[in-house]
Amino acid sequence: MNDNETSSVWSRYREAKEHALAKEEDKDGAEPLTLEQLEEAIAQTAASSGIPETGMPPRSVVHPSKQKQLSRWFYRILLLLFAALTAGLVWWGRKKYGY
């Protein structure tokens, strides 16, 4: 996943919400919608925009995991430490035994 997908989902959610709220404002003389009616209007607009039924994108889309990136750095550091240990032992052996 990249950041473009995250902002796209969020922008579609915001547009759906603004569209549902705009319907309420267009009824100047009409009685305001109840919370349930407003949620239903938002859900219908979000569904037509391709957003999940809840109206909000999943948390994994908004905040992607960095586990792969962290594990990659962990293994790189382990490899670097192993190389430093090997080089240190070779240097110490040559210094001590003069080979």
Burial bucket for residue 53 (CB in 10 Å: 0-12, 13-18, 19+): exposed
Q: Is the pTM of this model over 0.85?
A: no
| Tally of structural domains, the chain | 2
**Position of tokens 């267009």?**
26
Residues 20 and 59 in one domain: yes
Burial bucket for residue 46 (CB in 10 Å: 0-12, 13-18, 19+): buried
- The mean pLDDT of 71-86, rounded to a whole number, is 96
Q: Which domain covers residue 83, as residue numbers?
A: 66-99
Residues 2 and 28 in one domain: yes
Residues 5 and 35 in one domain: yes
**Position of tokens 């569209």?**
19
Render pLDDT for 11-49 as a digit per residue (tens, 0 to 9).
777 777 777 677 555 555 567 778 788 778 777 777 776
